């Protein structure tokens, strides 16, 4: 049984540690979701989210996890569209599956953890496409893809660009208007530091033109229905009220910290983690190319010889640190350390020290070897 204690430190790619004031907001008394108080909350949250997305486009809030917004992004364009789906990780694969369900899809696939070949994207677009799907930051592989480059190709070929920003918006630089992103979405349980259950989606005027001509759209995630309700300060269906209260508080915290400062904090944490694991003699999983970079919200590391993931996870848990493993084809091949949410420099240092201790006790690193430099690397970075 894998019970998580209240004192355990979540170092996952999501859910993430939630600040006490955000947790307290979850317990606020219910209000009328058709009344003026909720209208004010919704209007202000949507406006603040436009700043987080760095967009002038409409932003809607859906009661559902990031996959809800992912399906909304594809499903609202209609069932007759041709997609180019870019995949180099688990969530690019999920988008590929959705584009196949809702339309016809041409996949541009790279090995998980390697860069998308932009020449292959150009070739796929030359055959004609209505939209391209791309994950900005793949938590499954610890890699960030170059959206700006793909956005330029989409504009050249008059294709919409759909961007999964679930683990990047609010935590990694992602100016979606500048990049020409038509539909972008994120989830509450990542960079914004909320519990799971809300997703946010932005829609450009170009995308709305297509959506408004679509005859069949998803029912629950119908973006036109959500937009009509949002204009009245409501949601089309009953909202997950406690999460809206929590979102209000989380956005206040983000505003106080500053978006640039939040991005810098996550970047510093991730840079320090990467330096530390390298000092232990471990290898980062992603194989970077011209169109990719290491993620600044989650670090993926190859499992070293001498220990398996089950043992690593168990012994880290015994020391109060919860880490993630690889998904699907990467199961038991990598481990992942997330650095989003309500984390401090001390939390990062603690996680690295415990990791080094586990590896030392299992003979993976030598007490007099590179591993002893890990904590110094973190402290230097922080």
Q: Residue 312: which of 354, 279, 281 has the closest Cα?
A: 354
Which CATH number among 3.30.1360.170, 3.40.640.10, 3.90.1300.10, 3.40.50.1100 corresponds to the domain 20-255?
Answer: 3.40.640.10
pLDDT at position 79: 83
pTM beyond 0.75: the answer is: yes
Per-residue confidence band for 378, with pLDDT thresholds at 50, 70 and 90: low
For 260-288, what is the mean pLDDT? 96
pLDDT digits (tens, 9 = 90+) for 197-219: 999 999 999 999 999 999 899 99
pLDDT in tens, 339-351: 999 999 999 999 9
pLDDT grade for 78, boundaries at 50, 70 and 90: confident
**Residues of CATH 3.40.640.10 domain(s) within the chain?**
20-255
**211 within 8 A of 303, measured Cβ to Cβ:** no
CATH number (3.40.720.10, 3.40.50.720, 3.90.1150.10, 3.30.300.20) of 9-16+258-381 reads 3.90.1150.10
Delimiting residues of CATH 3.90.1150.10 domain(s) in the chain: 9-16+258-381
Q: Which residues are bridge partners to 302 per DSSP?
A: 334
Asked whether the beta carbons of 214 and 78 are under 8 A apart, the reply is yes
Predicted confidence (pLDDT) at residue 371 exceeds the cutoff of 50? no
Contacts 24+ apart (CB under 8 A), 363-369: 363/306, 364/280, 364/304, 364/305, 364/306, 364/307, 365/280, 365/281, 369/281
**Residue 370 confidence (pLDDT) above 60:** no
For the stretch 143-174, pLDDT in tens is 999 999 999 999 999 999 999 999 999 999 99
């Amino acid at each position: 049984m894998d019970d998580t204690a209240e004192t355990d430190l979540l170092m996952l790619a999501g859910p993430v540690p939630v600040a006490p004031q955000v947790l307290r907001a979850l317990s606020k008394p219910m209000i009328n979701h058709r009344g003026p108080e909720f209208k004010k909350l919704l209007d202000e949250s949507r406006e603040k989210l436009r700043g987080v997305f760095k967009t002038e486009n409409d932003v809607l809030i859906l009661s559902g996890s990031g996959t809800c917004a992912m399906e909304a992004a594809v499903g609202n364009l209609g069932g007759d569209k041709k997609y180019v789906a870019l995949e180099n990780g688990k969530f690019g694969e999920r988008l590929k599956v959705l584009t196949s369900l809702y339309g016809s899809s041409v996949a541009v696939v790279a090995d998980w953890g390697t860069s998308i070949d932009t020449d292959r994207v150009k070739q796929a677009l030359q055959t004609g496409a209505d939209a391209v799907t791309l994950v900005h930051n793949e938590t499954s592989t610890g890699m960030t893809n170059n959206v700006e480059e793909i956005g330029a190709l989409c504009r050249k070929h008059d294709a919409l660009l759909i961007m999964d920003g679930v683990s990047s918006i609010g935590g990694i630089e992602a100016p979606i208007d500048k990049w020409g992103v038509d539909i972008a979405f994120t989830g509450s349980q990542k960079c914004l530091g909320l519990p799971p259950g809300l997703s946010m989606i932005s829609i450009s005027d170009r995308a709305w033109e297509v959506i408004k001509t679509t005859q069949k759209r998803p029912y629950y995630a119908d973006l036109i229905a959500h937009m009509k309700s949002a204009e009245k300060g409501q949601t089309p269906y009953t909202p997950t009220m406690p999460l809206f209260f929590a979102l209000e508080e989380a956005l206040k915290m983000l505003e106080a910290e500053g978006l640039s400062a939040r991005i810098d904090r996550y970047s510093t944490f991730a840079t320090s983690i990467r330096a530390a694991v390298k000092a232990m003699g471990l290898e980062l999983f992603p194989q970077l190319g011209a169109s990719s970079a290491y993620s600044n919200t989650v670090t993926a590391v190859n499992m070293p010889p001498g220990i398996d993931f089950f043992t690593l996870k168990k012994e880290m848990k015994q020391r109060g640190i919860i880490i993630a493993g690889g998904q699907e084809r990467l199961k038991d091949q990598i481990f992942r350390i997330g650095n989003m949410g309500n984390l401090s420099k001390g939390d990062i240092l603690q996680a690295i020290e415990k990791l080094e201790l586990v590896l030392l006790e299992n003979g993976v690193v030598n007490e007099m070897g590179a591993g002893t430099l890990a904590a110094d690397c973190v402290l230097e970075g922080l």
